[in-house]
Structure 1
Amino acid sequence: MKRLSLPVVAALVLTACATSPLGRQQFLFLPAAEMDQMGATAYNEMKEQQPTVTGTAESRYVECVAEAIVAVVDSDQQWEVTVFEDDSANAFALPGGKIGVHTGLLKVADNQDQLAAVIGHEVGHVLAQHSNERMSIQYATQTGTQLVAALAGGDSAEKQTLMGLLGVGAQYGVQLPFSRKHEAEADVIGLDLMAEAGFDPRQSVNLWQNMAANSGGSPPEFLSTHPSNQTRIEGLQARIPEAMPLYQQAQSAGRTPNCG
């Protein structure tokens, strides 16, 4: 990687300053179009390499919940939803409007509200441009075109890092404290999204209680990019009083999802 002079670095910092949906200052160096292209590239590769579920009651259920969530996003972005045949209790969302849900998550999320909590959280990462923020810090001296080329190429250490920075797969050693901030921020955004869509935000706490029960011994919080289940539950509980009026307004407006 080329080294940049201090004046150039200073100019990049000034031109790349942004603010997250919750008012936090961010450094976003990469163009949104490049991030969308990388998200689409990673998503298409996953669909080619992993089995998916389509045309079933299960896939329609996931699509119903996801569509209700993205319907309240203030954007013209078109979203694509894919259910992956994978036993892990996981989901993700990528720049460019790409959502993936693993079938294993449906064994932990007991109802549509709990599934909405996860999808809302993942969409929150995209709305707050967290992957752009992580990549900007890691790859500020490379062009977006080079990053796309690395992502589209064969397996390499750089490609694996890029997949992790996009939010596909856990990566240790990449801005750990900062990533915890992203998780907490996505929790808040996701809670508001699910409430605005007409899903009960109180179910987010039940979801993470289920996650804790099914974690099988997760690593200590200081080793993980994710907050501990208890920390996450406490943060959500503190936010619920603000989310409940959004939920009640959604119900009054007729937003009452019935995904089955």
Structure 2
Amino acid sequence: MKRFTLVFVPLAVAVIAGCYTNPVTGRKSLVTATPEEEVKLGAQAFADVTKDEKVSTDPALNERVRRVGQRIARAVGNDLPGAQWEFTVFESDQVNAFALPGGKVGVYTGLLRLAATDDELATVIGHEIGHVTARHGAERMTEAQIAGGLGELGASALQTKIGDPKQLELYKAAYGGLVTVGYTLPHSRAQESEADRMGVVYAARAGYDPRAAITFWEKMVAQQKSSAGQSIVAKLLSSHPADEKRITDLQAMMPEMVPIYNEAKLRP
């Protein structure tokens, strides 16, 4: 009973916690972390990155990222309350970028070489900020807490019924695999797709052509050549959508996004 109580209490707290509504897509998610806790974690993560990675001193690259980033930040508006925006370029061949709670955004020089236009860069920065405004990190933390608690409940019941340590370890391994393949990875792919949508919305609102997201991902496919040789198993175990699906989904969004972009261009 004591073990059941220790596991049940955090689960109950998670369920009682209020739902968060995505300001762009309207999707509701369950989070237990407060925005203040997320900002604190984000600040620590950014401090770690700046300690481990080389910050670029190239004035042209930094000016470009700040210029594009600030326009996206204005388009985000109150979707990220209290953000203290900071845009930093890191020297690395990684084709990558990130955004953290509180408004810390990092872009690697490898990505800047691939994102040849400001429109392409805007959709990438919008995508990363979308993860933050959607509170995907806090959502995953909550899911891990619930999954862990349910696993402990099942293990406790099995131990009481069977009492065989070997079968108990098999259960834990099987449960972890089922949760990862059956829920965590598919949900992670769904979060990536949601961030893709948010990224083109923010870019379009800021007056950047959202169609650039398609050209950027086409270049990513050409560079990585990952789609053609990716097996079904690899796709199943991937936390990101398959490249070809990503491009198809982005293409399907454009009839809705281009009018937003055209309207933004008319604003002074």
* TM-score, scaled to structure 2: 0.78
* Partner SS, residue 70 of structure 1: helix
Give the deviation of 1:8 after TM superposition. Answer: 6.1
Amino acid at match of 2:257: A
* Partner SS, residue 224 of structure 2: coil
Which segment is superposed worse, 45-54 or 19-28? Answer: 19-28
Query: Which of 238, 248, 252 does residue 224 from structure 1 map onto?
Result: 238
Structure 2 matches for 1:174-189, cutoff 5 A? 175-189=184-198
Q: Deviations over 1:130-170 (max 9, x none)?
A: 0010011224699xxxxxxxxxxxxxxxxxxxxxxxxxxxx
Q: Distance in 2 between matches of 1:49 and 1:82?
A: 14
Q: Distance in 2 between matches of 1:108 and 1:48?
A: 25
Within the alignment, does 1:134 sit opposite 2:140 as a pair? yes
Unaligned 5+ segments in structure 1 are 143-171, 255-260
Question: RMSD in angstroms over aligned alpha carbons?
Answer: 2.2
Structure 2 matches for 1:34-183, cutoff 5 A? 34-54=37-57, 56-75=59-78, 76-139=82-145, 175-183=184-192
* Partner SS, residue 74 of structure 1: helix
Instruction: Name segments (4+ residues, structure 1) moved above 2 Å.
Output: 2-12, 14-21, 139-142, 216-221
Unaligned 5+ segments in structure 2 are 149-179
Q: Distance in 1 between matches of 2:68 and 2:239?
A: 26
Q: Distance in 1 between matches of 2:54 and 2:128?
A: 21
Q: How many residue pairs align between the two structures?
A: 224
Counterpart in the other structure of 1:17:
19
Counterpart in the other structure of 2:171:
none
* Partner SS, residue 52 of structure 1: coil
Q: Percent identity?
A: 41
Structure having the higher Rg: 2
Counterpart in the other structure of 2:221:
212
Q: Distance in 1 between matches of 2:141 and 2:120?
A: 30
Give the deviation of 1:12 after TM superposition. Answer: 3.0
Contact 1:29 1:140 in 2 (8 A): no
Cα distance change, pair 20–245 in 1 and its aligned pair in 2 (3 A): same
Q: Distance in 2 between matches of 1:176 and 1:71?
A: 32
* TM-score, scaled to structure 1: 0.80
Give the deviation of 1:62 after TM superposition. Answer: 1.1
Looking at secondary structure, tell me which structure has more helix per residue. Answer: 2
Amino acid at match of 2:124: V
Counterpart in the other structure of 1:162:
none
Give the deviation of 1:25 after TM superposition. Answer: 2.4
Q: Deviations over 1:56-95 (max 9, x none)?
A: 1011111111111011112242211111111010001111
Contact 2:120 2:215 in 1 (8 A): yes
